[in-house]
Structure 1
Amino acid sequence: MISNKQLFLQNNAQTSTSPNLLEVDRAEGIYLYDMEGKRYADLVSGFAVSNIGHRHPKVIAAIQAQLEKYLHLTVYGEFVQTPMVRFAQKLVEVLPDSLNNVYFVNSGAEATEGALKLAKKYTGRTGIISCYNSYHGSTHGALSVMGSDQFKQGFGPLLPHVQFINFNEAEDLHLITEETACVIMETLQGEAGIRVASLNYMQKLRARCTEVGALLIFDEIQVAFGRTGTLFAFEDYQIVPDILLLAKALGGGMPLGAFIANKKVMGVLKDNPILGHITTFGGHPVSCSAGLASLEVILEEELVKEVNRKGEIFRSLLVHPLIKEVRGKGLMLSIQLDSFTQVEKVSQLCKERGVIIDWFLHCETAMRIAPPLIIKEEEIHQVCAVILKALDLI
């Protein structure tokens, strides 16, 4: 009989020549369980999706309740659907006043696409500025603003009028001009190996965009909902973007994305032409029910309060001769090693011992540490012991 792994390799499109191939039977809290019942601590959170852990009871209850009512009804923007309305209301409540209009889509890449279109339509300009080593998704427009030529090979030509600047280098900000429709930037660079900008840089960026009339798009697809120690990462910089991109943890484990702007800005999508942006499944009622429940858990259980403390515990424990640096904020950290060979060996040894870690698209010499926010102090000690033992063995 053909195994599921063989069928996966045979019938499912592959994204690399070396998939992880862990076959998961179930997941609960911070743990995954394979088909033999072996437990793995998920230090990646499904790539920043499972901020409140896998299958939180309140999220499951919200999904089950919505299943009793309706699933997909029609395309986005036509019927009034309670889960979408209530989730948008809650998001607006926790965001600054200027970010008061939510457009739900299906993923982070779709949020990027919608935001780029919105910026061009609202400003009447075509110039886009992004950062080197950035990642905003893999669809055609999102790929155009990815800051790595390696991942663009074979997919050109891409969007015109895209220019790249160096993240956290204020001397490049003069490249933002009156011809710039938008600057799209990760509030904290993720796939570059967790790079944190200075307060001074971010405030100069905001001032420059305001000065020339360019819209500032913050991509918080990986970092929002508490991961960096605040509900939204831009809060630390005392500035507000013109457009905010959300996905991953937004849906509480269900597929969901959003781009959020001021109602005046978002209004340009509804006419000339009508349906300036459209999605069939965006704002799916089950996904919005799960997302609302997840956000309510984060707020009601005050999960964000403990994020920085837990991050400091990781930092205090992850001390080893092979570790060059631990970067990041809160529970979005990277462990810098010397080579991809080291990273690959440590990752494999950790997996064998029941801990899942990973590396970064644009920084393969570092390991990603981004566990669910609900991880307990004793669990941090346990997983760090595994990582340090793996480092000893390579």
Structure 2
Amino acid sequence: MKESFLKYQAQTTPHPLAMEISHADGSYIYDTNKKAYLDFVAGVSACPLGHNHPKVKAAIQAQLNKYLHVMVYGEYVQKPAVELTKLLAKHLPYPLEKTYLTNSGTEAIEGALKLAKRATGRSEIIAANKAYHGNTMGAMSVMGYEERKQAFRPLLPDIKFIEFNNEPDLNYITNKTACVILETIQGGAGFIVPSNNYLQKVRLKCNETGTLLILDEIQPGVGRTGKLFGFEHYNCIPDILVTGKGLGGGLPIGAFTASGELMDLLQDNPKLGHITTFGGHPLIAASALATLQEITESNLIPKTLEKEKLFRKLLKHQLIQDIRGKGLMLALMLPSAEIANELVLESQNQGLILFWLLFEPKAVRITPPLTISEEEIIKGCTIISNILDDILTKQQH
């Protein structure tokens, strides 16, 4: 199987982890040799309820027996998509009330950028250095990492980059700016949280200049930070909210949400302002609805902050220089990329799944399912500490 995987399925790096998967359940993934791996990554934040969650599975099975795709997006009334968007509106502050469902986070970013240009009649977009918003051409244009972009230029014109958390850079936002797009918490850069009321100051500057604020919650959204959405920590309501990953409960989804007034601009002048065949797919919407219901109706969100405290208490080690992030969106900062690599690879050997971040080579991702138990946290942190002890011992000799 591995030989066929490498020969027939396109890869994204020269050295994929290539674990051969048998099944997954709860906080564990199992390989074809029946080895269990405790999952501290959750499909890169995409499985907030863990694997094979009974309520998500039941929702998918129930919808499977009714219908799958019947019509392109936005033409027919399909209950799963309507109920999902209605529930999102219920849990979002005014004026975020109308949601466009897409197939992925990067497609939702594309739609949000188009909406900002359509609404303002402006072309300039401001994004942050070391930002990651997806990998399609528009989303890549607002990715603040030239090394990953240079082979694919030319990209969108009129993009300017500012430093996240740098207040003087806000002066670049003017009445020529269509939108500012930011991750609420920078992901690929190393789980960098806003400081000194930064997002409020961005919001104020956008208000002054008639600029729309897009917040990308594809990673921090859906309960991961201890609030349903990360922006709730920072007293800053975006004009357009982008979600994805965890919203689907393990199935592919993206969404962008704005006021009804803004979102209706995509209906006319021109008509079909953003279209998709499979966005709002009934099977995926059913999975997302069950996921959102479970996260908002259970105690998972407040428990996330308690679990964060446990991680921070257990992961005290000479080689851990910092733990960045919020809730169950955490990054261990290590002295070097070599140590980070060794920790990720040796953890997999010992039955623990960790992963890297896109642009910060000294960071190791910890984004487990929100359903992870305290016992599982202790078990995984013990593996991490023991591996770091071994690395430290080798260094001292």
With the shorter chain as reference, the TM-score category is over 0.9
The residue that corresponds to 1:189 in the other structure is 186
The residue that corresponds to 2:295 in the other structure is 298
Q: Secondary structure at the match of 1:112?
A: helix
The residue that corresponds to 1:169 in the other structure is 166
Mapped partners of 1:255, 1:35: distance in 2: 24
2:87 matched to 1:93?
Answer: no
- Structure 1 residues 126-165: aligned runs within 5 Å: 126-165=123-162
Mapped partners of 1:251, 1:351: distance in 2: 26
Q: Tell me how far 1:91 sits from its aligned partner.
A: 0.5
Q: Indicate which of 337, 345, 348 corresponds to 1:348.
A: 345
The residue that corresponds to 1:32 in the other structure is 29
Mapped partners of 1:384, 1:229: distance in 2: 20
The residue that corresponds to 1:325 in the other structure is 322
For structure 1, the 5+ residue unaligned runs are: none
2:213 matched to 1:224?
Answer: no
Q: Secondary structure at the match of 1:195?
A: coil
Deviations 1:306-349 (A, max 9, x none): 11110011011111111111111111111111211111111111
Q: Secondary structure at the match of 1:103?
A: strand
Deviations 1:279-315 (A, max 9, x none): 0000000000000000111122220011111001101
Q: Secondary structure at the match of 2:261?
A: helix
- Structure 1 residues 359-374: aligned runs within 5 Å: 359-374=356-371
The residue that corresponds to 1:381 in the other structure is 378
Mapped partners of 1:33, 1:151: distance in 2: 33
2:47 matched to 1:50?
Answer: yes
Q: Tell me how far 1:199 sits from its aligned partner.
A: 4.8
Q: Secondary structure at the match of 1:282?
A: coil
Q: Secondary structure at the match of 2:50?
A: coil
Deviations 1:348-371 (A, max 9, x none): 110011100011111011100110
Q: Indicate which of 5, 10, 13 corresponds to 1:8.
A: 5
Report how many aligned residue pairs link the two structures: 391
Mapped partners of 1:159, 1:310: distance in 2: 41
Q: Indicate which of 103, 106, 113 corresponds to 1:106.
A: 103
Mapped partners of 2:197, 2:245: distance in 1: 28
- Over the matched positions of the two proteins, sequence identity in percent amounts to 51
Q: Which segments of structure 1 move beyond 4 Å, counting only runs of 4 or more?
A: none
- Structure 1 residues 169-318: aligned runs within 5 Å: 169-318=166-315
The residue that corresponds to 2:114 in the other structure is 117
Mapped partners of 1:211, 1:154: distance in 2: 37
For structure 2, the 5+ residue unaligned runs are: 392-397
Mapped partners of 1:97, 1:174: distance in 2: 27
Mapped partners of 2:62, 2:194: distance in 1: 42
The letter for the 1-side match of 2:70 is: L
Q: Secondary structure at the match of 1:283?
A: coil
The residue that corresponds to 2:395 in the other structure is none
| Alpha-carbon contact 1:28-1:54 (below 8 Å) kept | yes
The letter for the 1-side match of 2:256 is: F
Q: Secondary structure at the match of 1:154?
A: helix
Q: Tell me how far 1:190 sits from its aligned partner.
A: 0.7
Provide the aligned C-alpha RMSD in A: 0.7
| Alpha-carbon contact 1:183-1:215 (below 8 Å) kept | yes
Q: Tell me how far 1:153 sits from its aligned partner.
A: 2.1
